[in-house]
């Protein structure tokens, strides 16, 4: 490990203290002193919230308090985050406000009190070089899991990555790297899920004075907790307080403090990792090429030269104690054995030092036995004149074939790295930041590193350039090409409030966007993370293969020793004639060749590669076809799916409701009726409320809601004043207008408020529901005054996909909490006969579990927060890419194009991948099951069949090559296409 010049310091503080804890406390105290408003931030556990309306009530109660600066409520975490002026409010006031709103509250421990001591665990990624087979993986995993503070460790051979969950208070990332390197492997830290750390590259460091200057700047920079400088690699790692500093401010302060002598840039961990994979692949190819060109003359001398008298006579010419041919073989093989083959000795020594055995042990043992026996035979012949057979070419050919297998393996690995590299390259290197004054007027522009963008930044995107971050449009309109992320070739119109994805291309007009997701939260970063995570997980079939591989090597060595001993004793005891012995050979030499062939031909490499290479290629193929796969276990379960459960709204339907019918059952005119309904729904955030508002405004003004943001419409002068608004989950909304109660909702809402529904109104609602529409009843002053019919159009491919699943012997099921008639009408339209009701609170999860009782594998397709329990409970969760982050997190597959056709693609790809894995195991096991007895000479007495060691080496390498090539065939995968005849075919 190269020596590192590290300087670890805590930030210099306003007053000196005796220990680190005191220094951290001083830093926080200094921050509080600088705050003129005595700002205090607390987190509160809130119990009793069941829906978005509850969280809105809590937020409203908090924001109404005099002194509260910000208040946000997380429904799923049952938590509120509140910043307030401590001179105006106390903690008890916050608690009382929440409890007065009807909920239970409790102050959580102050985050600032634990800031200096990390809580919980971190998940870090580490590159691990030098692994060659499943035994290496098991060895590294065992080392990592035994480290103090390590909770979990998973290592992937295919990507040479390890993912470690560890407690940073007990062990550091450097300790983990050192433990891996002490075991004989190469390692480096890639990244972790820390949100208060940044890794920067520094240019301009020419002397120790520059290092001292950088150190002094960082010591005086308020908010820096600690930093480390790697002068050799010119890396700077900084841990900072995110409430005081951001990455861009860190860079600005260092560059300005050094008078621009030092230049900093953010290092992308994925780019560094991809370059390492490319370097490894190039190195293996170079070694294979040299070994191949050195081995060809050896094979030529053994096979071809004896048939060419002139050349053969030159090889037989004596030169000192040996023949010319022997000298040539000795020199060529020595180079291959100890220079090119050095890596196998190093890896074998590493494995033995860790108390394990792997493929490298077999390669080193087999080639060493062949090489050193040949050298011994050569020296023995020179001394005694008794020349035994030499097998120099065996070790050279074996090393060459093994390197060929490793190169093909690196090519398969490189496909994932290449995909990651291309995803990284989608994000531009720089972005144009708009600088605004306090009044919001743009006063200038500044070019910044795209990795330094912070939430809330306003960025300028010119025509033909890439969108630098996820966000929303705040000015301008243009068409954006999103095909590189969503796969849809048609450009998408972006106007004010439209969301944009980082890495997509702005085609025509200029845009100003507000960044809202940066760093690891962006869509591209999440895609990269999913692609990587898929390589880290192991399918159950792979875990079994790893176990077989771990005991395979000792078994093979035992078989080789038994082969050697058996043939030798049989010869000594006269069990076979001397005519079987090679020319100038003896019983030991004859027995040794069988033993070497057994060692050489029996290798667990192919067995260890069978699953990870297929999963790796399938992951890349899936991403290319719009399906992100989170792991090998998801692929294995995906091919066994018996039921697919579909959420209705937003999954089978487009998720964009629109009013299709407005029927008034009173003397009120249509305009007055729609004004009343729209005014009542203006404070609601429900999708149906937005549909009603849009319909009402279009009726009045023939206009669209282009200036609506987040569904808030309180500025519209035509809306009536509303009081005592409340949203009733599962029923509708109620409020008062002009002192009279207005109800907008379903039958249950009307019944609970004693509003009678006449027969002809009921018939009208039933007619709507039977035509797959939702009927919304409206009552004013306890009289039913009208009905709205709202429809959510089906996705165009829904019916075709359902029919396709049936042809794949998969049973589609629809689950919804909607009106039963509407649900059945939608199900009938798409061809689903099995419809289940979503009963809260467990909802879809209960439906999933009911189908799983018979042992069936159940898949769930959904897009919303309410779908996440079902996605998590299902054997295979499939989240619509346009859905919520929580749904995507709970799923095993992410359908990036939000197309239901990708459900079939995901299942079909799972089946093809598992089929390919099974074929891989057939290839891997066939060589071992059939070839080991042949190599051991089982058939020699009857059929005179034997495998020379160099042929055995070729067979061993061929097993790995066949497995890798078999996996690479998955790259030819073409997703199923549903034709107009609803027949599943494969695209040519």
Active site residues: 647
Residue 192 and residue 125 in contact, taking contact as beta carbons nearer than 8 Å = yes
Token pair belonging to 538:
């192991």
Q: For 879, phi and psi rounded to 5 degrees?
A: -100, 135
d(CA 678, CA 733): 11
d(CA 726, CA 683): 9
Q: For 83, phi and psi rounded to 5 degrees?
A: -110, 130
Q: Count Cβ atoms below 10 Å from residue 875 Cβ, excluding itself.
A: 21
d(CA 282, CA 901): 39
d(CA 25, CA 32): 11
Parallel/antiparallel/unpaired status of strands 478-481 and 834-837:
unpaired
Q: Count Cβ atoms below 10 Å from residue 119 Cβ, excluding itself.
A: 11
Contacts of 432 (CB under 8 A, 6+ apart): 445, 446, 447, 459, 460, 461, 462
Place of tokens 């799983």: 852
Residue 461 and residue 434 in contact, taking contact as beta carbons nearer than 8 Å = no
Identify which of 210, 243, 244 has the alpha carbon closest to the alpha carbon of residue 229.
Answer: 210
Q: For 31, phi and psi rounded to 5 degrees?
A: -65, -45
3-state DSSP call for residue 911?
A: helix
- Whole-angstrom CA distances from 45 to 64, 79, 109, 243 are 19, 5, 10, 22
d(CA 842, CA 845): 6
- Backbone dihedral region for residue 374 (phi beyond 0: left; psi -120 to 50: alpha; all else: beta): alpha
Q: Can you give 463-517 as a three-state secondary structure string?
A: CCCECCCEEEEEECCEEEECHHHHCCCCCEEECCCCEECCCCEECCCCEEEEEEE
CB crowding 126-155: b at 16 or more within 10 Å, else e = bbbebbbbbbbbbbbbbbbeebebbeebbb
Residue 874 and residue 860 in contact, taking contact as beta carbons nearer than 8 Å = yes
CA terminus-to-terminus distance, the chain: 51
Task: Give the bridge partners for 107, in sequence order.
Answer: 44
d(CA 325, CA 557): 32
Identify which of 292, 299, 304 has the alpha carbon closest to the alpha carbon of residue 329.
Answer: 299
- Backbone dihedral region for residue 646 (phi beyond 0: left; psi -120 to 50: alpha; all else: beta): beta
């Amino acid at each position: 490990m190269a020596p590192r010049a590290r300087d670890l310091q805590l930030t210099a503080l306003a007053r000196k203290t005796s220990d680190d804890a005191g220094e951290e406390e001083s830093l926080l105290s200094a921050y509080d002193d600088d705050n003129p408003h005595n700002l205090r931030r607390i987190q509160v556990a809130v119990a009793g919230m069941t829906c978005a309306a509850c969280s809105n009530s809590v937020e409203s109660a908090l924001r109404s308090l005099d002194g509260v600066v910000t208040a946000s409520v997380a429904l799923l975490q049952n938590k509120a985050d509140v910043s307030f002026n401590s001179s105006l409010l106390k903690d008890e006031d916050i608690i009382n406000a929440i409890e007065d709103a009807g909920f239970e509250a409790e102050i959580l421990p102050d985050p600032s009190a634990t800031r200096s001591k990390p809580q919980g665990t971190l998940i870090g990624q580490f590159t691990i070089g030098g692994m060659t087979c499943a035994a290496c993986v098991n060895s590294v995993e065992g080392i990592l899991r035994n480290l103090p503070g390590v909770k979990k460790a998973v290592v992937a051979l295919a990507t040479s990555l390890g993912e470690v969950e560890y407690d940073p208070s007990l062990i550091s990332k450097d300790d983990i790297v050192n433990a891996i390197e002490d075991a004989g492997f190469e390692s480096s830290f890639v990244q972790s899920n820390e949100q208060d750390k940044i890794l920067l590259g520094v240019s301009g460091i020419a002397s120790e004075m520059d290092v001292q200057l950088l150190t002094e700047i960082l010591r005086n920079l308020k908010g820096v907790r600690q930093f480390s400088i790697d002068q050799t690699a010119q890396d700077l790692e900084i841990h900072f307080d995110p409430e005081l500093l951001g990455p861009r401010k860190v860079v600005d302060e260092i560059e300005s403090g050094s008078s621009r002598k030092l230049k900093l840039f953010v290092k992308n961990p994925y780019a560094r990792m991809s370059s390492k994979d490319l370097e490894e692949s190039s190195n293996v190819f170079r070694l294979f090429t040299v070994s191949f060109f050195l081995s060809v003359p050896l094979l030529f001398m053994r096979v071809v030269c004896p048939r060419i008298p002139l050349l053969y006579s030159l090889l037989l010419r004596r030169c000192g104690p040996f023949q010319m041919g022997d000298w040539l073989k000795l020199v060529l093989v020595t180079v291959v054995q100890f220079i090119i083959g050095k890596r196998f000795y190093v890896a074998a020594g590493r494995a033995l030092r860790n108390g394990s055995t792997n493929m490298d042990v077999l390669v080193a043992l087999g080639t060493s036995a062949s090489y050193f026996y040949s050298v011994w035979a050569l020296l023995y012949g020179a001394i005694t004149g008794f020349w035994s057979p030499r097998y120099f070419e065996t070790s050279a050919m074996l090393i060459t074939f093994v390197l060929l297998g490793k190169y093909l393996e690196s090519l398969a690995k490189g496909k994932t790295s290449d995909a990651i590299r291309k995803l990284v390259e989608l994000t531009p290197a720089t972005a144009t930041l708009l600088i605004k004054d306090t009044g919001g007027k743009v006063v200038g522009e500044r070019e910044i590193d795209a990795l330094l963008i912070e939430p809330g930044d306003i960025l300028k995107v010119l025509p033909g350039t890439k969108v630098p971050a996820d966000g929303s449009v705040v000015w301008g309109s243009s068409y954006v090409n999103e095909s590189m992320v969503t796969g849809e070739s048609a450009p998408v119109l972006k106007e004010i409030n439209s969301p944009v994805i980082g890495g997509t291309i702005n085609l025509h007009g200029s845009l100003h966007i507000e960044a809202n997701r940066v760093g690891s939260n962006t869509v591209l970063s999440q895609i990269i993370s999913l692609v990587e995570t898929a390589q880290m997980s192991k399918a159950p079939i792979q875990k079994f293969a790893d176990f077989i591989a771990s005991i395979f090597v000792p078994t093979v060595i035992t078989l080789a020793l038994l082969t050697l001993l058996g043939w030798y004793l049989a010869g000594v005891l006269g069990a076979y004639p001397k005519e079987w012995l090679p020319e100038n050979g003896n019983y030991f030499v004859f027995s040794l060749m069988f033993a070497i062939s057994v060692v050489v031909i029996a290798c667990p490499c192919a067995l260890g590669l069978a699953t990870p290479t297929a999963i790796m290629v399938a992951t890349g193929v899936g991403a290319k076809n719009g399906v992100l796969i989170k792991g090998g276990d998801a692929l294995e379960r995906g091919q066994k799916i018996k039921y697919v459960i579909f959420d209705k709204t937003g999954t089978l339907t487009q998720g964009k409701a629109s009013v299709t019918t407005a029927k008034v059952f009173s003397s009120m005119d249509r305009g007055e009726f729609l004004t009343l309904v729209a005014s009542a729904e203006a404070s609601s955030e429900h999708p149906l409320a937005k549909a009603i508002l849009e319909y009402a405004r279009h009726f009045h003004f023939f206009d669209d809601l282009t200036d609506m943001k987040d569904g808030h419409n309180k500025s519209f002068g035509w809306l009536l004043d509303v009081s005592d608004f409340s949203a009733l989950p599962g029923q509708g909304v109620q409020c008062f207008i002009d002192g009279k109660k207005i109800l907008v909702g379903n039958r249950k809402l009307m019944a609970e408020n004693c509003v009678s529904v006449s027969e002809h109104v009921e018939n009208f609602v039933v007619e709507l529901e039977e035509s797959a529409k939702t009927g919304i009843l409206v009552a004013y002053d306890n009289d039913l005054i009208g009905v709205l019919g709202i429809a959510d159009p089906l996705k165009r491919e829904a019916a075709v996909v359902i029919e396709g699943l049936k042809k794949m012997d998969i049973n589609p099921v629809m689950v919804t909490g909607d009106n039963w008639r509407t649900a059945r009408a939608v199900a009938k339209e798409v061809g689903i006969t099995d419809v289940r009701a979503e009963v809260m609170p467990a909802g879809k999860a209960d439906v999933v579990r009911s189908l799983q009782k018979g042992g069936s594998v159940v898949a769930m397709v959904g897009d919303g927060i309410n779908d996440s329990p079902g996605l998590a409970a299902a054997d295979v969760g499939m989240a619509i890419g346009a859905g919520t982050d929580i749904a995507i997190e709970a799923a095993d597959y992410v359908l990036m194009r939000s197309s239901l056709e990708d459900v079939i693609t995901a299942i079909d790809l799972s089946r093809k991948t598992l089929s390919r894995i099974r074929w891989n195991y057939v290839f891997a096991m066939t060589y071992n099951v059939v070839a080991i007895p042949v190599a051991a000479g089982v058939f020699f007495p009857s059929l005179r069949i034997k495998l020379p060691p160099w042929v055995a080496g070729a067979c061993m390498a061929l097993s790995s090559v066949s497995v890798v090539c078999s996996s690479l065939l998955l790259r030819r995968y073409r997703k199923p296409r549903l034709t107009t005849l609803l027949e599943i075919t494969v695209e040519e």
